[in-house]
Amino acid sequence: KAGVTQTPRYLIKTRGQQVTLSCSPISGHRSVSWYQQTPGQGLQFLFEYFSETQRNKGNFPGRFSGRQFSNSRSEMNVSTLELGDSALYLCASLDPGQGRNEQFFGPGTRLTVL
Amino acid sequence: SQQGEEDPQALSIQEGENATMNCSYKTSINNLQWYRQNSGRGLVHLILIRSNEREKHSGRLRVTLDTSKKSSSLLITASRAADTASYFCAPNQAGTALIFGKGTTLSVSS
């Protein structure tokens, strides 16, 4: 099976712009989670989607949003970008239907906000 | 959801030595997972230990879980330079998201 893919891998934006990141989970995985990783704050949970519904949510402002499509692909959007949004954004998928809890991570999208 | 806290924050050892890192958490769990992250890349799942298990092995990895102390440890035996990475624990409750701590950064020098 192909692994989790994320596009784009690198992105440079300026303050005030918005950005959309994409994540394609492993085939058959219906849960997708998003994380933000920065040197200062570490790895922080953004949200989790399961079967097109947001199931869990972290403590991020409303500028961060996401969605999941019927094919389980997920997108996250960040509006009105701030310098502090510069980070590695990781998505992870799992298949809870098999009673397994291991998450499979993509390579990440490196976002730089200038 | 709850976050694990890894200790130490950083660990430097020589090749061939063993590396031990610890994880503490606050409330009851269904399982606890360990992940590895090489610099700037995605996390890779290493091992999962269920709340009713006390010890688990996978290759050079040995994980222990003490639910009474709410702690876990990850032992990497005979470390190699390729083990240089950050290691994260994730205590997991059913139906909740995996939350990661700041991790332990392991540096193995040859």
**pLDDT tens digits for A60-108?**
999 999 999 999 999 999 999 999 999 999 999 998 766 667 899 999 9
User: Which of B48, B88, B96 minimises the CB distance to A102?
Assistant: B48
Average pLDDT over residues A8-28: 97
Question: Cβ of B48 under 8 Å from any chain A Cβ?
Answer: yes
pLDDT exceeds cutoff 80 at A52: yes
User: Which of A43, A88, A110 minimises the CB distance to B100?
Assistant: A43
pLDDT exceeds cutoff 90 at B26: yes
Q: Which residues of A touch B1 (CB under 8 A)?
A: 45, 56
| Residue A96 backbone dihedrals phi, psi, to 5 degrees | -65, -15
Question: Cβ of B41 under 8 Å from any chain A Cβ?
Answer: yes
How far is CA A106 from each of CA A14, A77, A103, B100, rounded to the nearest angstrom?
Answer: 25, 17, 10, 16
Average pLDDT over residues B78-90: 97
Q: Which residues of A touch B43 (CB under 8 A)?
A: 43, 90, 92, 103, 105
Q: Which residues of B touch A39 (CB under 8 A)?
A: none
Do A101 and B44 make contact, defined as CB atoms within 8 angstroms? no
Q: Which residues of A touch B103 (CB under 8 A)?
A: 42-43
C-alpha A72/C-alpha A67 separation (Å) is 9
* Site from A101, A104, A110, A112 to mutate, B interface, most B CB atoms within 10 angstroms: A101
* pLDDT reported for residue B35: 97
Beta bridge partners of B3: B99
Do A56 and B96 make contact, defined as CB atoms within 8 angstroms? yes
Going B76 to B69 to B90 to B26, the CA torsion angle's sign is: negative
* pLDDT reported for residue A102: 87
C-alpha A5/C-alpha A105 separation (Å) is 9
